[in-house]
Amino acid sequence: MEQQHQSYKAKELEKSSLNKSNMTSPLSASKLVAKVNSLVNPLSVPRNVSTNLNVTHPQKVNVDYRAILDKITEISSIKDTNSYYLAVHRILTKYLDCSFTAFGLYNEVSKCINLKLLDRLDNIYSTKVFGSDSENPVSQCFYTRKVITKDSANFLNMSYYNDHKVSIIPMISVNKCIGVLIVGDRKIGETERVYNLIANYIAMTIDNLYLMEKSQEHFNTDALTQLYNHRGFQECLSKELANAEKNHTKLSIVMLDVNNLSKINRELGHRKGDQVIQLVAEKVKNNLRKSDTAGRYGGDEIAMILPNTDISEAKYIAEYITYSLSCCFVDDVGPVKVAVGISSYPVCAKEQEKLLILAEQAMYISQVKGYKDGMSAIISSADFNFWDDVALKSYAEIISKRHAQMGINFEEELLHKFNTEQISSQNHLEEIAKSLAGAIDAKDPYTKGHSTSVSRYSEALARACNLPENEVERISLGALLHDVGKIGIPENILKKPDKLSDEEWNIMKQHPVIGAEKVLAPNESLRDLIPIVKYHHEHVDGSGYPEHLKGDQIPLSARIVAVADAFHALVSDRPYRKGLGLETACNILLQGAGKQWDPDLVTKFIQIAPSLVGKI
């Protein structure tokens, strides 16, 4: 018998309450009481049954069995094994006056019984008994499944308990002995059968706890790869991020996507696709460090959590994995290729969901960039410009497909990024304004490129009016962002192919104000564009919106954009009609001159329209 000499107070075990009762107990308290009564008071038998038995009954012990069994059933809700041991120990020492208890579960791997002995002061002593030690009464009890009573506890090698009478009781659940309960009680003969019943009840509870733990493991495990599933991965990431925040350390996420998996599944069958996924999972597992975790994040995506790891270190690990995969050939598939995206805490983001979005975004960009020098393109979220067309498109796709249901809105995220962007130059401002406008246009498939065209038409009309160059540039930029307020308009209204209802139209008419107040006002470098965005739907006769301005009350820049906006709407295809020809569009502008649009601007625009329409 090998004894561990560490003794410590069981303070941590007190975290679980003794009064939880939400789990179903193997036996009800009333049934247990009835069973105990039949054990401790065998003279209580029906009158029609003969009592002429040559039996010596133990002296009745003054014990509150109902209180014991009530308490035993109450603590069945405790989900931590150590806490459950402590709770049982306290009940037995309080109600049965035993001096110590020991709980031992059999370990099938090490072939030994690990014992935890608790005394009246809640001190814990650990030791183990090897199954091969056939002389030890603990082993004898376990293998024979019979109660063994000893006048001394010297087999525990605890000298201060040697003079205690002890009983070693098998803990049996579902006809299987899972361990032993040992109690030090000088009156053991009087209560042995009660201990026996309680031991079996404890065994059933411990067995249930074990089954719950196993089922929980299965619940969080992907059956194909034996990695964490999506739920388990998210829970693990949450814990690791909390640790990183507490300890002020770094953490990286590496996300791998198997290229062409849908094609493999379609052409070669899902079994072949599963084989590829399993291979990637195996390579990932082989390269995990002790502190790392991996999970199957999606159908063809495997993600890794790397604590205490920055982007450069994460790239090194990812490079090695992709190299290993490139050396593996799968029949009919060839070398396995993956796209790789990386994000890092706290450099890229601090919020869990944003870190995942950035890792996915980097992975999408990796897919687009393909392979460099025959290797996977490993992209981190620090490697690309957020306003790049590919980056922006992938960002929108990720949020709309996976994260919108979690409360992350693409438009809100886009607007936040736009308003926090550090503008370094006029060219930089124009670039992000163009990207923002393109993202807004993308919400409506029928107005693709609308903002860019309106900007070009407005710039041409401003030049025709001989305005100063800086004003021409301002009008061009304002026209590019004239519809930016549609960021706050629901897509079901923007994409509705039929005529809008009055209620829907009232919502649509809010977009100039939303654009001015929500998008431009918070950004100091864009505030001079507010008049263009806010008033480009005003009419010279006062019938427009949002403020019903008339004539020269409407800023010239807004009147210019209004003409350009209307012309592009006329010559573009719509859900309800094909785009109109140049002559028809110009005639409609003339009919509305003096009512909807500035007549002088309409005249100038019609003069330059033929040179513009071929570039639509």
CATH number, residue 234 = 3.30.70.270
> Residue 533's domain is classified under what CATH number?
1.10.3210.10
- Domain of 274? 220-406
pLDDT > 90 fraction of the chain, expressed in percent and rounded: 29
**Averaged pLDDT, 552-580:** 87
Tell me: pLDDT of 361 over 60. yes
Band the pLDDT of 17: cuts 50, 70, 90.
very low
* 191, containing H or E segment: helix 188-219
Contact by Cβ (8 Å): 178, 199: no
Give whole-number Cα distances, 586 to 116, 465, 557, 613, in Å.
92, 18, 20, 11
How many C-beta atoms surround the C-beta of residue 517 within 10 A?
15
Please check whether residues 399 and 465 belong to one and the same domain.
no
The verdict on 452 and 361 lying in the same domain is: no
Number of structural domains found in the chain: 3
Which strands make up the sheet holding 123-130, listed edge to edge?
Answer: 2-9, 123-130, 112-119, 100-107, 176-184, 166-173, 148-150
Once rounded to an integer, what is the mean pLDDT over residues 280-307? 91
- Closest to 88 measured CA to CA, from 199, 162, 177: 199
Note whether 451 and 589 are same-domain residues.
Answer: yes
Of 273, 325, 279, 283, the C-alpha closest to 304 is 283
Q: List CB contacts of 518: < 8 A, sequence separation 6 or more.
A: 415, 485, 487, 488
Specify whether 399 is located in the same domain as 431: no
CATH number at residue 32: 3.30.450.40
| Band of pLDDT at residue 452, cut at 50, 70 and 90 | confident
Residue where one domain finishes, among candidates 382, 406, 430: 406
Examine the domain organization and report whether 197 and 238 are in the same domain: no
Residue-level pLDDT at 164: 75
- Per DSSP, the three-state class of 122 is coil
92-96, 420-424, 451-455: segment of lowest average pLDDT: 420-424
Indicate whether 225 and 335 sit together in one domain.
yes
pLDDT mean over 261-266: 82
Task: Give yes or no for residue 416 having a pLDDT over 90.
Answer: no
3-state secondary structure 4-63: EEEEEECCHHHHCCCCCCCCCCCCCHHHHHHHHHHHHCCCCCCCCCCCCCCCCCCCCCCC
Domain final residue, candidates 188, 219, 250: 219
Q: Give whichever of 117-126, 207-216, 424-433, 463-472 has the largest mean pLDDT.
A: 463-472
- What is the DSSP-derived secondary structure letter of residue 597? B
Instruction: Identify whether residues 500 and 567 lie together within a single domain.
Output: yes
SS (HEC) of 554-565:
CCHHHHHHHHHH
73 in the same domain as 6: yes
Same domain for 455 and 367, yes or no, is no
Residues 415 and 371 in one domain: no
For residue 402, what pLDDT is reported? 56
As a whole number, mean pLDDT of residues 322-333 equals: 84
- Same domain, residue pair 374 and 460: no
pLDDT at position 329 is 83
Confidence of residue 170 (pLDDT cuts 50, 70, 90): very high
User: Which residue, of 177, 196, 219, is where some domain finishes?
Assistant: 219
Q: Does 385 share its domain with 431?
A: no
Q: Provide the whole-model pTM.
A: 0.49
Task: Tell me what pLDDT residue 80 has.
Answer: 76
Closest CA to 288 of 314, 323, 310, 311: 314
| Mean pLDDT value of segment 382-391 | 74
